[in-house]
Chain A
Amino acid sequence: MARFTTTSLAVDSIGPVDISLHGGECLGLGGPSGAGKTRLLRAMADLDAHDGQCRLDGQAAAAIAAPVWRSRVMYLAAEPAWWADTPGEHLPAQHALVADWLDALRLDAGLLDQPIGQTSSGQRQRLALLRMLCLEPIVLLLDEPTANLDADNSRAVEQLIRDYCNERGACAVWVSHDIAQLARVADYRLALSATGQVNPWS
């Protein structure tokens, strides 16, 4: 069971935020646009300079190489980029669970061989989640992972992430504007004020 903690984590005037998540748990992070939710997630992944510390199972991010940290504590941007021609080329050659995950995400396997340019934004959002899960992160930092999805597909994503966390003892920090969604998926909820202060969910 993983344990993910942050101690006085702050980026510029955003934060500080102190959280402690155990395996299987999900923290919901809400707040208005521009409050700094994305920047906090990026700080947790050590993608930007920040104050304070993040630890996974007691080990501080600074104590291990940044790429190793980020392969465990993985950030999924709202609109991640693609570099190869097809979605399939972004996935590890043979991952046993790809078929199951495609199914859970209501995606057709043929999509993996289609040019990226011919996929819809909703398909790409789910494919990006699939790409992330194939790397088997321990902490999932999710930046509006259902922003481009309709209600049914959003539920499918919610279910898959909860299942992934429960089965593997992984945990998630889930950023969303959708209060109802955070009420469904998150065990704890925090709200970021417009000025970057962290408050308990009201």
Chain B
Amino acid sequence: MQLISLSVVDLGLASVAVFALAATLLAMRLELAGTLVIAALRTAIQLALVGLILEAVFAQRSLVWVSLMALVMLLLAGREASARQRRRFTGGYGFLAGTAAMFLSSFVTTVATLVIVIRVQPWYTPQYAIPLLGMLLGNTMTGIALALDRLTGEVWRDTAVIETRLALGATATQAVASIRRDAMRAGLVPMLNAMAAAGIISLPGMMTGQILAGSAPWEAVKYQILIMFLIAAGTGFGTLLAVTLGTRRLFDNRDRLRLDRLRAPR
């Protein structure tokens, strides 16, 4: 099979549908027309920029450039994860904890996969490394953001229960056990749902892309299964680490609840 290259005119044709939707929204006074057009423009501009960068990085095939790109992706993901918190930690701790958790889980998973499973030479070949890392970071970021948001929100709401349990001699870990469970669940449910629905309700994006690009379906399926497993492990360990770090931060070494380490909601 041959990849059918898309021209700018082809994309312009597809954009007609978006503009038609915007015009309809405008006519019906549903308010989202402007937001839709801006979002569509952002998609086009951001992806075009990334495309240029990827072309350059792919052409270079150098570890330095791949690492630099990975670092930028990590920092942006860390910023996004902490920006999604309603009650953020003071002193940038949420950013640090989220970024550290994402770094450990996503980078370890990506590198291990490149070296042990795919065995591509050299291991940092950007065609493999960047998309893998991107998918892992994106999913882990969502998991961590949801889990930390649930953790801080529930600790704030259940302050009286936590304080009562501490007063009765519970350790910090015991006092927040059920909240930790809830936070982990909040972080992992999107990934679990995606795994359960894969192939039945939706064809996953990466697999669809590979098939469109000319891969045999069976090859695309194998890669999709691989990436699902990696996302499960990466998101799970990343979320676990972030929740653990977040929980530790909410208590001090005398097992006292430290709500002063949270900022008021925005």
Report A's interface with B, CB cutoff 8 A.
45-49, 65-68, 70-71, 74-77, 79-83, 131-132, 135
Q: Which of B4-12, B100-108, B159-167, B221-229 participates in binding chain A? A: B159-167
With a 10 A CB-CB cut-off, give which of A45, A46, A67 has the most chain B CB atoms.
Answer: A67
Question: From B171, which residue of chain A is reached at the shortest CB distance?
Answer: A67
Check A74–B168 contact: CB distance below 8 A.
Answer: yes
Check B168–A83 contact: CB distance below 8 A.
Answer: no
Check A77–B256 contact: CB distance below 8 A.
Answer: no
Check B254–A46 contact: CB distance below 8 A.
Answer: yes
Number of interface residues of B (CB under 8 A): 18
Question: From B172, which residue of chain A is reached at the shortest CB distance?
Answer: A67
Check A81–B161 contact: CB distance below 8 A.
Answer: yes
B88 CB to nearest chain A CB (Å): 22
Question: From A71, which residue of chain B is reached at the shortest CB distance?
Answer: B169
Further pairs besides A66-B255, A70-B255: 20, Cβ < 8 Å: A45-B167, A47-B256, A49-B252, A49-B254, A65-B171, A65-B255, A67-B166, A67-B170, A67-B174, A68-B169, A71-B169, A74-B167, A74-B168, A76-B167, A79-B160, A80-B164, A81-B160, A81-B164, A83-B165, A135-B169
Check B254–A66 contact: CB distance below 8 A.
Answer: yes
The 8 A-B residue pairs whose C-beta atoms are closest, nearest first, are A71-B169, A81-B160, A66-B254, A81-B164, A66-B255, A81-B161, A75-B167, A80-B164
Question: From B260, which residue of chain A is reached at the shortest CB distance?
Answer: A49
Report B's interface with A, CB cutoff 8 A.
158, 160-161, 163-171, 174, 178, 252, 254-256
Could you tell me the distance between the alpha carbons of A74 and B170 in the complex, rounded to whole angstroms? Answer: 11
Question: From A131, which residue of chain B is reached at the shortest CB distance?
Answer: B168
Check A47–B169 contact: CB distance below 8 A.
Answer: no
A14 CB to nearest chain B CB (Å): 17
B115 CB to nearest chain A CB (Å): 43
Check A70–B256 contact: CB distance below 8 A.
Answer: no
Of the residues B160, B163, B256, contact of A66 by C-beta under 8 Å: B256
A66-B255, A81-B161 given; A47·B168 CB < 8 A: no
Question: From B167, which residue of chain A is reached at the shortest CB distance?
Answer: A75
Could you tell me the distance between the alpha carbons of A66 and B167 in the complex, rounded to whole angstroms? Answer: 10
Chain B residue contacts of A70, Cβ below 8 A: 166-169, 255
A61 CB to nearest chain B CB (Å): 8
Chain A residue contacts of B163, Cβ below 8 A: 47, 77, 81
Check B166–A47 contact: CB distance below 8 A.
Answer: yes
B142 CB to nearest chain A CB (Å): 29
Chain A residue contacts of B161, Cβ below 8 A: 81-83
Chain A residue contacts of B169, Cβ below 8 A: 67-68, 70-71, 74, 135
Q: What are 27 contact pairs spanning A and B, CB under 8 A? A: A45-B167, A46-B256, A47-B166, A48-B256, A49-B252, A49-B254, A65-B255, A66-B256, A67-B169, A67-B171, A67-B174, A67-B255, A68-B169, A70-B167, A70-B169, A70-B255, A71-B168, A74-B168, A77-B167, A79-B160, A81-B158, A82-B164, A83-B158, A83-B161, A83-B165, A132-B168, A135-B168
Chain B residue contacts of A132, Cβ below 8 A: 168
Check A80–B167 contact: CB distance below 8 A.
Answer: yes
Chain A residue contacts of B165, Cβ below 8 A: 83
Question: From A49, which residue of chain B is reached at the shortest CB distance?
Answer: B256
Chain B residue contacts of A47, Cβ below 8 A: 163, 166-167, 256
B37 CB to nearest chain A CB (Å): 49
Question: From B165, which residue of chain A is reached at the shortest CB distance?
Answer: A83
B139 CB to nearest chain A CB (Å): 32
With a 10 A CB-CB cut-off, give which of A71, A74, A79, A80 has the most chain B CB atoms.
Answer: A80
A62 CB to nearest chain B CB (Å): 8
Could you tell me the distance between the alpha carbons of A46 and B253 in the complex, rounded to whole angstroms? Answer: 11
